[in-house]
Structure formats: C-alpha cells, structure tokens
Amino acid sequence: MRGSAYKDRVEAGRLLADELAEYADDKKVIVLGLPRGGVPVACEVAKKIHAPLDVMVVRKLGVPGWEELAMGAIASGGVRVLNDDVIRNLQISEKALEKEVDIELEELRRRELAYRGHAGAPAVKGRTVLLIDDGIATGSTMRAAVQALRQQGAARIVVAVPVAAADTCVEMEPMVDRLVALMKPEVFGAVGHWYERFPQVDDAEVRSLLEQTAVPAHAG
C-alpha cells in the first residue's frame, strides 16, 4: 500500500460506497455529509447507491477563552445538545452560553444558505440516515450530529467513514444503529494523515456537490 490509505476523498467515498451497497435504491435512505470535508465522500456514496444527498450542519459551542473544549453543539433544525458536566464544572453562566449559541447559530445559518440557498434541517423523520464524514478523530462533532438526528426522529442512524480512531469507534458504537469504518487504526493522529491529497473544501465545492445529486424536501 502507498504511504497514505486513500488518494483523496473521492476514492475514499467510492470505497465506502461499496461497503454500503445494501442500502442502494432504498427510498427510506438519505445520505448526509458533515461539512465541509465529509461532503465529497458522501457525494460518492449517494451517487453509487442512488440516494438523495444533503448536509448536516453542526457547530461546536466552545468554552469562552478555551474554545477547543466543547460545552455543547447546535445543529440544523434548531437542535441544541449541551454538555451539562462541562457547563456545571466550569460554572459557565447562562449569559455566556447564550452568547456563544448566538454566534454559532449565525454561522450555522450562513452555511446552510451558502450550501443550499435556504436554511432548515434535512427531512429525516422515519428514515435511515447514512451520516458520513471524511474521518473521525475525537468524534465530538459526529456525536452531536447523532444526537440531533435522534431528536429529529431518524428511524436508523448509520455512521460511515473511511477512517476512524479505534478508541472513538468503541465509544460511539453504542450510540448508533451501525458504525462502518473502513479503517480503525490504534494510532490515529489527524484525519488528513490518511489521505495523499487532503485539500480544504470550501462552500462553493459543497454547493456544487449538492447540486450533482437529488436533494430531498426539507423540514422547518
């Protein structure tokens, strides 16, 4: 094998699609990519299994002054997931929390408008959701997306990625109906280490990929 596991996100998406072939032509299936990097991977899956593609926009709520630490997240459809332990232990005030929510909500709406031309959550109630990213390191964003989809009434949630840290997989498997990771390295590093080419994905590319596949009606 070459130095990196995958040439790029397109190759990774095609290989992942082979693993998800059983979901082909199922009218209850929807493919959701986590922007931005998960969308090129998800696009290849959606095309291969003939399913609609959309995005699941999730924004982390960082602790003021320590933004890398998440005190929660917000997602498409007005879903808010809070880490009560972090909020309580760090004595984060309601005012500080709401300020961070307002900032991230503005960015969430900006991204939704940039990607699809309108805001709102994907219509997932009663459907099987294939939730896809280009890789999972700590899994904080993916966990928030899963919780949001549960709140929105998804019937089944399948998290599918080309590569994920082995310990994160162990933590996440009980949260979902199925976890598909083509590679589960014990020593992970960063997601980009597993790709030969790992360029930044911009808003225009996400929008272009969404336009290549059928997009379902939206809720809210």
Residue-wise pLDDT for 146-183, tens only, equals 988 998 999 999 999 999 999 999 999 999 999 999 99
User: How far is 108 from 148, CA to CA, in rounded Å?
Assistant: 14
User: What mean pLDDT is reported for the chain?
Assistant: 91
User: How far is 58 from 198, CA to CA, in rounded Å?
Assistant: 21
Is 91 found in the same domain as 80? yes
Task: Please report the pLDDT score of residue 165 as a whole number.
Answer: 95
User: How far is 166 from 81, CA to CA, in rounded Å?
Assistant: 24
Residue 60 in this model has a pLDDT that exceeds 80: yes
Domain assignment present for residue 66? The answer is yes
What is the domain-level CATH number for residue 76?
3.30.1310
Domain that holds residue 18: 9-58+125-210
- SS3 state of residue 133: coil
Is 75 found in the same domain as 100? yes
Is 178 found in the same domain as 72? no
Higher-pLDDT residue of 113, 220: 113
- This prediction's pTM: 0.88
Domain assignment present for residue 217? The answer is no
Sign of dihedral through CA atoms 116, 121, 126, 131? Answer: positive
Residue 218 in this model has a pLDDT that exceeds 90: no
Among residues 74, 94, 115, the one where a domain terminates is 115
Is 206 found in the same domain as 168? yes
Please count the structural domains in the chain. Answer: 2
User: How far is 119 from 56, CA to CA, in rounded Å?
Assistant: 11
> What mean pLDDT is predicted for residues 62-78?
86
Is 77 found in the same domain as 165? no
User: How far is 30 from 35, CA to CA, in rounded Å?
Assistant: 16
Task: Please report the pLDDT score of residue 219 as a whole number.
Answer: 44
> What mean pLDDT is predicted for residues 90-114?
94
Closest CA to 145 of 30, 32, 46: 32
Task: Please report the pLDDT score of residue 217 as a whole number.
Answer: 42
Is 92 found in the same domain as 30? no
Amino acid (one-letter) located at 50:
H
Among residues 46, 80, 115, the one where a domain terminates is 115
